[in-house]
Structure formats: C-alpha cells, structure tokens
Amino acid sequence: MDPAARQQFEQTALPLLDNMYGFALRLTRDPAQAEDLVQDTMVRAYRHWHTFNADSNVKAWLFRIARNSFIDGYHKRRKARDMADTIHTQVQSLGQATAIAHSNSTPPGPEDAVEMRMTRRRILDALESLPDDYRIAVTLADLEGLAYKEIAEVMNCPTGTVMSRLYRGRKLLHKLLHDHAIEVGFVTESPSPPVSLDRFRASQNKA
C-alpha cells in the first residue's frame, strides 16, 4: 500500500475501532473472540483498501467484512459464557459516556446514573436474547445509525428483509422492555408500536 493510501486508511478506518469492537462483541458474544474478529477484520480491510469506494460508508464496509469473517468461522468457535459476565462486558463497551454524548442535558447525578445503568442493562440483556439476524439488524440501525440500504449490504440481503427483521426485532424488544418503559414513564399501559433503542434510551432523560 502506498503512503497516501495508508494514511487514508489510518484516518478513515482506525477511528472506528470502538464501533467495530461493539459490533464484533454482539456477533461473537465473547470479548476475546470479539478482539480477534476486530483484528482479523482490520487486517482484511487494510489488504483490500484499494477496493473501497471513497463515496460509500466506510462503517458499513467494515461491518460487512466483519460479518463475513464471522460467518467464515468465528461463530463455530463461540464459547459458552456466563450471561452476567457478557452483559457486564457489553455495558462497559457501550459506556456511560456514550449515553451522555448523545444528550444535550447536563451530566447525570448519582440517582440518574444508577437509573441509566439499569436501563442500559435491561436494553442489552433484551438485545442479547434476540435471534442473531434480528439482533444484528437492530444493532446496525439503532446503535450504529446505518441506513436500510447499508444494513442490507452488511447482511447480504434485500432491503425489504432488513425492514422486516428490524420491525420484528424492535417488536420483540418492545415486548421485553415494555414493563420498564412504563416504570420510567416512557409509555402508558395501552399497546404501542415497536420503538427504536434510541427512543427508548431517551426516556432516561425524562425519568
């Protein structure tokens, strides 16, 4: 790789390492394997950087490489793990700073911080329980902000399939999180349509 291309790769791809780890963790459900998957993804991305279209979404491109690498073998070596440890790791990967960074409000006090932690824990626990295809679609849409077309490229399926998986994934999450949403005053007792994780997490600021 020539120096200019290498510099472009370092400036464009490397800043997304945290996003890559979060995505890899939700694919592998194992911190060590997630780190290996990220490393393998970045090596492949570096080798094939010349194929990347500068006008496209680099995050979607990297996620597609990660998913293909995962399908190629990482899921075959997925280890049994303790659910509590996995949830704890996912909460750490998301980080309290992430929730604060997406809010225009002042930093939360101790009680608000506890409420935020409980909400993130419930969200990630529910997300963990979804079928793989639904979990990936929801993660890419609601946590990574990818468009339907970009998600379709990552998951190698039609846009309509993405919309269906996203709707069903959100519907399952809605069912799992409905009681907590009532507790924080985000929804009423009456039935309501599936919501995105961003809208659900926004309830933290209203509680």
Q: Tell whether 133 and 161 lie within a shared domain.
A: yes
Q: Tell whether 93 and 173 lie within a shared domain.
A: yes
Phi/psi for 145 (5° steps) reads 75, 25
Coil/strand/helix, residue 37 = helix
Q: Tell whether 70 and 31 lie within a shared domain.
A: yes
Q: Is the pTM of this model over 0.75?
A: no
Q: Residue 173's closest CA among 99, 123, 119?
A: 123
Query: What is the separation of C-alpha 199 from the centre of its chain, rounded to a whole number of angstroms?
Result: 15
**CA atoms of 195 and 177, how far apart (whole Å):** 10
**CA atoms of 15 and 17, how far apart (whole Å):** 6
Q: Tell whether 111 and 53 lie within a shared domain.
A: no
Tell me, what CATH number does 35's domain have?
Answer: 1.10.1740.10
pLDDT of residue 115: 52
Q: Domain boundary residue among 37, 61, 77?
A: 77
**CA atoms of 28 and 30, how far apart (whole Å):** 5
On the CB side of 207, CA atoms within 13 Å amount to 22
| Cβ atoms of residues 75 and 28 within 8 Å | yes
How many domains is the chain partitioned into structurally? 2
Q: Tell whether 38 and 92 lie within a shared domain.
A: no
Domain holding 105, by residue range, is: 83-205
| Cβ atoms of residues 149 and 61 within 8 Å | no
**CA atoms of 175 and 51, how far apart (whole Å):** 42
Which residues 6+ apart lie within 8 Å of 10 measured at CB?
none
How do the pLDDT tens digits run along the chain, 207 residues long? 788 888 899 999 999 999 999 999 888 888 888 998 999 999 999 999 999 988 889 999 999 999 988 887 644 544 434 444 444 454 444 444 334 344 444 544 544 544 555 566 777 777 888 888 898 898 888 888 888 999 999 998 999 999 999 999 888 888 877 766 666 555 555 555 555 666 655 655 555
**CA atoms of 150 and 141, how far apart (whole Å):** 9
DSSP 136-173: HHHIIIIIS---HHHHHHHHTS-HHHHHHHHHHHHHHH
Q: Tell whether 150 and 133 lie within a shared domain.
A: yes
Query: What is the separation of C-alpha 133 from the centre of its chain, rounded to a whole number of angstroms?
Result: 12
pLDDT of residue 21: 92
Q: How open is the CA angle 108-20-7, to the nearest 5 degrees?
A: 110
Q: Residue 167's closest CA among 142, 200, 150?
A: 142
Q: Domain boundary residue among 62, 77, 92?
A: 77
Q: Provide the token pair at 41.
A: 């993804």
Q: Domain boundary residue among 77, 99, 122?
A: 77
pLDDT of residue 103: 42
